[in-house]
Homo-oligomer: A and B are copies of this chain.
Amino acid sequence: MENGAPAVEARRRAGRPPHPVLGPGRITKAALRLIARDGYKGLTMSALARLLNVAPSALYNHVSSKQDVLLLVEDHLMAGVDISGFEAGPWHQAVRGWAWSYRNVFARHTPLIPVIAVLPVTNAPQTVKMYEAVTAGFHAAGWPPDQIIDAIVALESFIFGSAFDVNAPAEIFNAGELAADAPLFTQAVASRASGSGSGPGGDERPVSPSDTAFGLGLEALIDGLWAQRALAPKARHP
């Protein structure tokens, strides 16, 4: 108990510490550790404080709310989304690689999606950086400037929705007692194609149902958006 090993920090007395104990970086890292260990239900301000060896109220010197913590986590994760394809390769392939990695990152962080989808990017530098890279890729592919954001938003909406689907249980479409009233649906569910399909690289290997649906929709969206790009109306002048 009283040996010199500082494996467990001693209780801190009240008052300003010699140098700050917390900060955005350490809070983000602790939040990620908590999420990895216990999931989002385990991410509470109390648990976060406990892991950082401070009182819960100390967190509010660095973030103004729990939403703020979620924004820190979100922005950190955005750095993990693959934007490398937009720097050089063809547009189709760049979008494909970006979309798959974007979905895969947030499939494990779906509770962030309602937050991201509604929060301004003003204080999320990694997020802005990602958008800049994607916009540059669209620009380089000759996209009409006034349509780029709408195309990105459409892709993102599909990506976010698909991230939820990754977490759906296998039996989500089991109609149970209601199957008798829905014969075509029940049949379609039973015959649902799975076991092989195209991944981000177009390789042929076993994939889950959610991967198959994502691949199908993503290719449709990429092709469909590209076709509409050609038909795009000229930008209106006021």
Interface residues of A, Cβ cutoff 8 Å to B: 110-111, 113-114, 117-123, 125, 128-129, 131-132, 135-136, 138-139, 145-151, 153-162, 164-165, 167-169, 171-178, 181-185, 187-189, 191-193, 195-196, 209-210, 212-214, 216-217, 219-225, 227-228, 235-236
Interface pair B111/A217, CB less than 8 Å apart? no
* 19 residue pairs bridging A and B, Cβ less than 8 Å apart: A118-B168, A120-B176, A122-B176, A122-B178, A132-B182, A132-B183, A139-B184, A139-B188, A145-B188, A146-B191, A146-B193, A151-B216, A151-B217, A157-B164, A157-B214, A158-B158, A161-B162, A222-B224, A223-B227
Copies of the protein in its oligomer:
2
Q: How far is the CA of A226 from the CA of B192 in the complex (A)?
A: 18
Interface pair A154/B114, CB less than 8 Å apart? no
Closest CB pairs A-B (n = 4): A154-B217, A220-B224, A157-B161, A224-B224
